[in-house]
């Protein structure tokens, strides 16, 4: 199942698809797909590098 990160509060959670509202902060925010697709993160479910990424750095990727 994909992992998502809330762009507002940084909450990371697992879900089929991003919800309309963040389960943590309750805001309607953008959710980033932080699912791990490589062995680098140790298959913990989400990629720590993507989780650490700040929204304003997105354009670098």
Interface residues toward Zn ion, by CB under 5 A: 6, 8-9, 11, 22, 24-25
> Least separation, in Å, of the C-beta of 40 and Zn ion?
26
> Least separation, in Å, of the C-beta of 55 and Zn ion?
12
Q: Are 45 and 36 in contact (CB under 8 A)?
A: yes
Strands 31-33 and 12-14: unpaired
Q: With respect to Zn ion, which residue has the nearer C-beta, 21 or 49?
A: 21
Q: Are 37 and 6 in contact (CB under 8 A)?
A: no
Q: With respect to Zn ion, which residue has the nearer C-beta, 10 or 45?
A: 10
């Amino acid at each position: 199942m994909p992992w998502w990160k809330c762009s507002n509060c940084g909450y990371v959670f697992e879900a089929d698809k991003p919800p309309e509202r963040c389960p943590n902060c309750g805001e309607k925010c953008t959710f980033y797909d932080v699912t791990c697709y490589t062995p680098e993160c140790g298959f913990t479910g989400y990629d720590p590098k993507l989780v650490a990424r700040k929204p304003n750095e997105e354009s670098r990727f």
